[in-house]
Structure 1
């Protein structure tokens, strides 16, 4: 059980690796920020369309998928409204900070069923568990970039950016631990969680990531979007 949780922990920790890459890159210009956010938008969009929604439909009914997707969307709308307040600090750009908060929340919702998926993969015979963990780790790198880039642009210190990404990364082993305790995850619960994460991530991509990266530098944004989508497609085809 410890080895499985450790694999899930490493998969989640790759979120911090993505944050480190952004922080090492230095102060992000318009093209760099557009590339990172476009890449994350492509990854998140592909995960929603190619992984989360099909898996949710596999484990549950169409009603569960629709209700879960709607719940995830409404949850992000509620968080967005809560964060709609005036910035109290002249040193911080709250527009970017709010984007970072929402992305972190969406990725955390996404990471919980990912942890369940790792647990289910290791329960099944064969090499499915390690492959799922590897795929999730690769997915989490650009997602960590997406969280770190707006937080850094908003004025947060590198340590605080890493701390927030570290908190997000713990959700993956938490989901794996829950899945191992249940041994056989309830398909109804898993279907709803997958759809919930899909709704949350779709809201973030459509209302936050795409408008911002296309506003900053459209050609670079499209390049990042295509690259992120292609990356997930490659992982689905060969892992």
Structure 2
């Protein structure tokens, strides 16, 4: 799952982004993050605790706002030779995508502990691995648009998904406990991503490119991610 995320950086070994395309790529990244948020919200609701999903969304938005204020007060932030406001945004995007991996890792562990055991867990693992490729592309687009090398973009894309295999193990061992916390965790991660898209990623995209291509890129990204999600949900249901 984690290795698959790194595949999202592959295009940037062959292309270089000018400011216009950087804006469109940020729009695509926003679409991927929004689609991932919708999937997390749906996953939390499927566990029968809609109120905790809503509380998680609100908590996630507040958490990112506080983190942003903390980073601004901390002083000059630096990451991967990026400084200032851009570095703050990169830290937040990488942090949010890493955070959302905890929820997906929990889902993998719980699926292995389900009634179908290994078969169901393997299907969920493969589905998330494929789903991680466009998420790695989203992280890489945000990094590449700020001058980060393809090698570093690939490395950080993989790092954002490392919690998935790590968290899957305790989630499998303590499936009942993780099931109870999953709705809040998925809502929290979704709230973080929604806040970041609306407050940071899309505004940056609109500065670099005109609204029409940015909106089109974001819409197509959401549609592609949702189609991918529906396809794998349908396949998993039929296989079971």
Query: Do the structures match in fold with TM over 0.5?
Result: yes
Task: Give the corresponding residue for 2:158.
Answer: 166
> 1:27 maps to what in 2?
16
| Unaligned runs of at least 5 residues, structure 2 | 233-240
Compute the displacement of 1:185 (Å): 4.4
Q: Does 1:16 align with 2:16?
A: no
Residues 97 and 150 in structure 1, CA contact (< 8 A), matched pair in contact too? no
Confirm or deny that 1:234 pairs with 2:195.
Answer: no
User: Cα offset for 1:88?
Assistant: 7.1
Task: Please provide the CA RMSD for this pair.
Answer: 2.5
Q: Deviations over 1:38-91 (max 9, x none)?
A: 222112212222x211222232534312221122112211221222234679x6
Q: Is the 8 A contact 1:106 1:200 kept in 2?
A: yes
- Choose from 70, 76, 80 the match for 1:82: 70
Corresponding residue SS for 1:186: helix
**Partner Cα separation in structure 1 for residue 17 and residue 85 of structure 2:** 15
Which piece of structure 1 moves more, 151-160 or 12-21?
Answer: 151-160
Could you report, residue by residue, the CA deviation over 1:151-195 in whole angstroms, capped at 9, with x for unpaired residues? 344444554444433322211111212212214443321111111
- Say if 1:35 and 1:213, in contact at 8 Å, map to a contact too: yes
Which residue in the other structure is 1:140 paired with?
Answer: 132
Please tell me whether the aligned partners of residues 36 and 145 of structure 1 are also in contact (alpha carbons under 8 angstroms). Answer: no
In 1, Cα distance between equivalents of 2:182 and 2:20: 38
Alpha carbons 2:29, 2:138 under 8 Å: kept: yes
Distance across 1 between alignment mates of 2:78 and 2:36: 35
Which TM-score applies when normalising by structure 2? 0.81
Residue from 41, 53, 77 that aligns with 2:30? 41
Label 1:26 to 1:238 Cα distance change in 2 as closer, same or farther (>3 A).
closer
In structure 1, the residue corresponding to 2:82 is in which secondary structure?
coil
Equivalent residues, number:
226
SS in structure 2 of the partner of residue 28 of structure 1: coil
Question: Does structure 2 conserve the Cα–Cα contact (< 8 Å) formed by 1:100 and 1:146?
Answer: no
Distance in structure 1 (CA, Å) of the matches to 2:113 and 2:99: 22
Q: Which runs of 5+ in 1 are unaligned?
A: 1-10
For the residues of structure 2 that align with 1:139 and 1:71, how far apart are their CA atoms?
Answer: 25
| Aligned with residue 101 of structure 2, among 107, 111, 127 | 111
Preserved contact between residue 103 and residue 146 of structure 1 (Cα < 8 Å): no
Per the alignment, residue 55 of structure 2 pairs with 67
How far residue 104 of structure 1 moved from its aligned partner, in angstroms, is 0.9
Other structure's SS at 2:53 match: helix
> Take 2:16 and 2:176, find their aligned partners in 1: how far apart are those partners?
46
